[in-house]
Amino acid sequence: MAQLLEGKTALILGVANKWSLAYAIAQAFRREGAAVLLTYQNERLKAAVEELGGEIGAARIFECDVTKDEDLAKLPAEIAEFGKLDAVVHSVAFANREDLSRPFVETSRAGFLLAQDVSAYSLVAVARAAAPLMKAGGSIMTLTYLGSTRVVPNYNVMGVAKAALEAAVRYLANDLGPSNIRVNAISAGPVKTASARAVKGIGSMLEEAPARAPLRRNCDPAEVADTAVFLASDLGRGVTGNVIFVDAGLQLLGA
């Protein structure tokens, strides 16, 4: 079968380790023929991302902290050799650990703003930096979670940040649509990533999901990645401003 992303260049932010959803997406994009550019947040993650990028044949690997405008200003130089950028995957979030366990009402101003800056505003900053490079149109996508619209125990400040992120997807889709740039979010069901494991309660969610989910199993990073391929490819050309659930059907349930 023809490769779905042949001739396309994709920037993927948020690979931290082999469990990262961003890494599953990078693998799927390579399988479909895209040139893949990976970023790492800082020196601490550099070696790990370089090793993972080497394994999949990433075209470029560079430092990009999405909270630093000067790092985002490097994008034009990094993609210059490819002529244009076609897809961006934003798979970045952060909150203080204490804000993912104590009652939401106790969230500090600093903790709230940190989660918003890293997890929601960063999509706006990335889209603004990437859009001028998407000369043949493009697809920008981010990762979200059901805690944006429902109260999921302990998700707390991240739920509020994901609500802002999903609203940003809609406003960005409207702004960038005239340039044929689509903006969407993938809402992944619970998966065993390193960030998820840092969180109290994810273990029991993963244990209970196979009995409750309509598809009667847990979610697999590879199926999140295949939806990202669809959104980045021309198959997704009519889809913008959406939140697509890749969660084995869990979001349908009322109780």
Interface residues toward ligand 1JT, by CB under 6 A: 93-95, 100, 145, 152-155, 158, 190, 195-196, 198-199, 201-202, 205
Residue 15 vs 202, nearer CB to ligand 1JT: 202
> Which of 23, 40, 121, 155 is an active site residue?
155
Least spacing, CB of residue 143 vs ligand 1JT, in Å: 7
Least spacing, CB of residue 163 vs ligand 1JT, in Å: 13
CA geometry: angle 61, 65, 66, nearest 5 deg? 115
Cα separation, 23 vs 21, whole angstroms: 5
Report residue 204 as tokens.
């029991």
Q: What are phi and psi of 183, to 5 degrees?
A: -135, 125
Report residue 28 as tokens.
């799927």
Residue 174 vs 204, nearer CB to ligand 1JT: 204
Least spacing, CB of residue 59 vs ligand 1JT, in Å: 27
Residue 3 vs 251, nearer CB to ligand 1JT: 251
Cα separation, 91 vs 112, whole angstroms: 19
Cα separation, 54 vs 171, whole angstroms: 36
> Which of 23, 40, 145, 171 is an active site residue?
145
Residue 133 vs 186, nearer CB to ligand 1JT: 186
Tell me the C-alpha to C-alpha distance, in Å, between residue 65 and each of 27, 34, 142, 156. 22, 23, 16, 24
Least spacing, CB of residue 242 vs ligand 1JT, in Å: 19
145 has catalytic annotation = yes
Residue 61 vs 196, nearer CB to ligand 1JT: 196
Catalytic positions: 145, 155
